[in-house]
Structures are given as structure tokens and as C-alpha cells.
Structure 1
Amino acid sequence: MAEISVELTKTPKAKPADEHHLPFGDIFTDHMFIMDYDDGQGWHDARVVPYGPLPIDPAAMVLHYGQEVFEGLKAYKAQDGRILLFRPEENFKRMNVSNERLCIPPIDPEFMIEALSKLIEVEKDWIPSLEGTSLYIRPFIIATDAHLGVRPSHHYYFVIIVCPVGAYYPEGLNPVKIYVETQYVRAVKGGMGYVKTGGNYAASLKAQHEAEEQAYTQVLWLDGVERKYIEEVGTMNVFFKINGTVVTPALQGSILSGITRKSTLEMLRHWNIPVEERRITIDEIAKAADEGQLDEAFGTGTAAVISPIGELKWGEKHMVINNGEIGPISHRLYDTLTGIQWGKRDDPLHWTYEVK
């Protein structure tokens, strides 16, 4: 892969003055990474350039057929000044899984980490240092052929943009209320539920809107065939502690293989806490709640890390979990994972990557 060129902006933006009030996903830095793909030439012209609009044709295939993938990860500023990434190789390996499903040419994960490191080196002064803040990273690939007709594109952009962020949910670490969706479906096995592509999120908008109208933060999806097996929350994988065992839905092709999910499972096993990956019905959760055996529930994801669930609404049934308070495993996981991410705790499983 060729060298990465750097063009610095001549009109730098003012950085946020108050790190206590960083909205998620609204403020973008001065620069972005971009690289082109053309059939016969491969990926080429890797560069860091001033942040700005992308030149695409109105007939660009991404706009008409949705051929695109993306990822999400974060950079953290440790108290000693180090800049840390959390398992970036896992994100970029997953990006190539998405690429394969969407017929997009793969990119070497090591080069993607190199490209990201170069961008972060240029934008390091944008990384907030207040506890709970980070630099959110959005790599994405879009199809850019000016062509109307369903086929894989011959040309693509690979882009990375970054933004300083605070907490994803306004509740912070306070438990969120989740609405169990029974009318709409998000994905089925054989579809694209297991990859990160915009179509999955577009499919969730209607249910998410209806949940918010009832004062619920997110939607818990059931399987698209039998409508009884739990899959994932809109932006998170989901875990339940039932009678002392932590249970999460198994990966069967319709839910995302979350990096935080994987890390949670590995950390729970490291702690010798009983954990199971299997199919779980909403009836099992309701029964456990009725019998007082549903001790905790929480979501996992890059944006929120660990998000405790204080209530589930399924039809007319309201399940309040742990009296609407954060549970001990949720709290321990949050403290441990964020402590590793911000370089405040030991990293026993060697997950952090230092940007130098």
C-alpha cells in the first residue's frame, strides 16, 4: 500500500470549550482520511485531507442501492497522555466481514489501523481528556459508480471521520428503559443482520420512533421468523443475568458480533462468572422476572460501553429489573472496560493499542 499523504487545513475550527457538554456525533474535527478504489487499480491514493464534502455524482450507487459499510470505535486520552485504541483490529476484521457480504473489496486491517493512527496523530489535540469523553471514530466505505442498475460498484471511497464525544445516552450510566418490538422485524438469518451496514439501521427507524413516543430509549428486537427469540437492542448487544448465570443471544447470522459483546464475554469468563451464549425467548425473560430470578440486564456497545437496563416493556407487561438500578455485574464491567480503555486499569487480556 502506498504512503499516506497529509494536507493540513488552512482554516482550523475552534475546538469545544466545554468538555462537560459534548453532544454525540455532532462536532467533527479538522481533517479526515480518504482512499479510492478503482477496478484494475485496487485501493490507492491514501490521504489525510481537510474535512469537507465528498465529491459524488447524484447517480452514485450508494444513494440508490445502499452499498455501504461502516464501523465505530473510539480513541481515549489516558491521564499520562497516551492515546489508546480499544481492540481496533477487531473492528477492521469485522469491516472486512461486512465488505464480503456487500461485495466490497477488502482492505488490509493493518493498513486500516495505520491510516487511523495517521489521522489521530494529526487530530490528537481534538481528543477530550475529561472522564467519560473520547474521540469517536467512524470508518466507512461507499459505492461511488454513477450508474443506475443493481450490481456491485466498480469504484469506492474508504473514509474515516472523527468527532469528540461525551455519553451516548443522556441517562449516562443510569438504567435505560427498553421497548420490546413485536410488530416490525430488523433482520433474518441469511440477510445482513450480522454486518454493519446502513440498511439495518434504516429498518429500525420506525420502531425506534414509536418506542421514543412512549418514552423508551431503545428497541429490543425479536427474531424475524418466530417473533419470540431475543436478538439485540437497536445499537447494542444484550445480556441478562438469570439465577446467577449471565446469558446472551448466540450469534446465528442475524445479529451483530459486537466488539464490546466479545470483550464482555471474555472478561466474564476471565472472572469465572457463569456465562452462556444461546437462544433466549422473551417468555423466558418474562418468567424469570415474575419469579424474581432476573437479577440484571444490560446492553453492550462501543458508543455506550455498558448500558444497564432498568425496565422492559413487552406488550402490556412492564418488567422492572433490579428496582430500576444498576446491578453489580453491569457496574463492574463498566468500571473495568472503561478503566482499560482510558489506561487507568491493568489490561490483563492485552486489548489496548497505543497510537504513537
Structure 2
Amino acid sequence: MQELDLEKIRQEIDKVDQQLADVLESRLQLVMQIAAYKKSKGLPVKDKNREAKVIEKVAGFLENKEYSVAVKNIMRGIIDQACLLEETALSEENDKTYEVACFGPAGSFTHQALEEYFHGRRYNRHHFQTFEEVIASISDGTMDYAVLPIENSSTGGITEVYDLLRQYDCSIVGEQCVKIEQNLLGCEGASLGTIKTVYSHPQGLKQCADFFHDYPDIEQIPYFSTSKSAEEVAEKQDVTLGAIAGKQAAELYNLKVIAPAINSNSNNYTRFVIIAKKPEIVANANKITLIVAVKHETGSLYKMLASFYHMGLNMLNLESRPIVGKTWEYFFYIDVTGNLADPLVIDVMEEIKSKSTYCKVLGNYRAYERKE
């Protein structure tokens, strides 16, 4: 009889242990969010005052105060392990060398964005020729991170990148903005008077339309990359050839800047996204990118977007892409302010899902902050 009672008690303990495991797992997940926040703010892992308050608070919840000493000791152990977990996570991140995919060759604006975003971290840079090769390297786990252009302030969104982000299994974990200053580059001895032909990416040529209007005799040759056009001019060493590219390409290929900042729009920026295989928890994340589709009926898009307005969230960007096989139906790519750990934002996301036929969150990350 006594054995049966003991077994029942142990079964009850097993049930409580299962609940305890769930609670501890939830607590440790929150600890990792705190670790990310402390890293972003440069704060130390340990906070003795906070730890003491937590221990006393938990002991205060007890109905039977006889357990206070035991519970305090248990909490000290939990906090010690949490601090160790934080320190290990931060140490591993600081020591790791990341493999980072870059669209386009060295000297490109994407290369510049990569260097600015990963400044202070150790990484190996890998160059890919197509957007899909870059994203595939993340999806298959070959690369840890990748950098891709997604939007230009003058020419708008890059549709192929939007499509690939939906098709592949990856997440946006950050962003970087780069001011685009196109320059006319040439080899030693070249000048505006000698240049007859200019190579550049079609976007680079388009961004310098006013310059070419003033120099109509210069032939424009579209090339697949601004930095590759600079490399071409450097290899040929012909004073009649020029390239439209950034100053980084000029430095890389030892070309001189013949005419600086010739792009028509002096306030021209490209936004780049940093992507990874899995979402990353960032305590100070304030921007969400998601994809939705709605029923093909009157008012469906308005009703879905109104959820952001009614909840006080600011929509930053909206792009549409056709759904293949469904005439006049679209995927909508949305950037909106918010943090997915915020209960209000969680409610909004649930409402968006209920009003959508398709909903995928691409990432929740820290928005780029321009340094003046």
C-alpha cells in the first residue's frame, strides 16, 4: 500500500517537473533576449542588485514561508546558469568568424554595405553573381549571412529580390543604407575631353541621365555591374574609356575620379537587407517585414491595412508583386514599425493573419539609423 502511494506521488512530481521544464525553457528564451539587448547596449551580463531583487520577489510568492531558504537557493542556481548561458552565447558570437555572401564583385555598393554593417566583426566575404545564388547559399546553409540590395530611393524596389525572399527559406535580420554617389572613373591620362565611351550598370547610367544630357557625344554601354565596368576600364588602360561607379571601385582598381558625384539625385540611397537562415531575436528590433495576400474582392486590402492604422503602427513601405497563375492577384510586401515581442504587435499580426489568405513574416530587426 505504501509503495502504491509513493508511486502516485512520484507521478505527480513527474507532472510538476514537466510544467517546470516548460517554464524554465520559457525563462531561458527570455534570458537570451536580454543577452541580445545587453549586447546591443554594451551592458554587463551580471547585475547583482537585479538578481537579489528577483530572488526575494520569488520567495515572497510562497504561501509556505518554510520553503524560503530552499527556493532562494534554487533561484540562485537558475540565475547562475542563466548568466553562464548569456556569457557563453556572447562569447561564441564574439569569437565566431562568419561566412558572408555578397551580391556582385568587390568594389560594388553591396560590398560597401557589407563592410559597414559587419564592421567590428570577423567574417569571410564571398562574392556571387546573381541574387538567387546569394539567397540559395543562405537557404542551403553554406553561408551564415548575406547582403542584398532591395530598394533604391530613386528607382524603387528590386522586384527579383522581393520574389526570392518569398520563395526561399530565409529571414531578414538587419538592414544597411548606403548613399549612392556615382562617379566618372578613368585610367591615368584620361579626362572629360578624352572619354568617348562609358561603361556601367543600366541603373548607374540611368542615375546619371543629367550628366549625359550635358555630354551627348559620350556613348553609353550597359554593363552587368558598376564595379566590373571599372575593372574593365582598368584592364584596358584606354584614355577614351570611362566607367560609372563608386569611389570604392576607383580605389580597388586604381582609377582616378574624373567627375565626382554625377548622379542626378544628390540624395540617392540604396537600402540593403541582411539575411540569415533563421530569424534572430533582437531586443531593440523596431521594424517588421512581412508578405501577405488577400482575397480578390472589394475592400480586402484596405481592411487588412487598416489594422495597422487602428493599432497605431506606422506602415513604412508597400510593394506589390503578381501571383503567378492568378490574374490580377498580388503578394504585398509590407514594412511596418514594431517589435514582435510587444503584445500589441502580436495582436496586430494575429488580426493581419485572419484577414489574409497568405501571411509570412520575413523578419523583425533594427531599422537603419542614418549617422549625420
Q: TM-score range by the shorter chain?
A: under 0.3
Structure 1 or 2, whichever has the larger Rg, is: 2
TM-score between the two structures when normalised by the length of structure 2: 0.25
Higher strand share: 1
TM-score by length of 1: 0.25
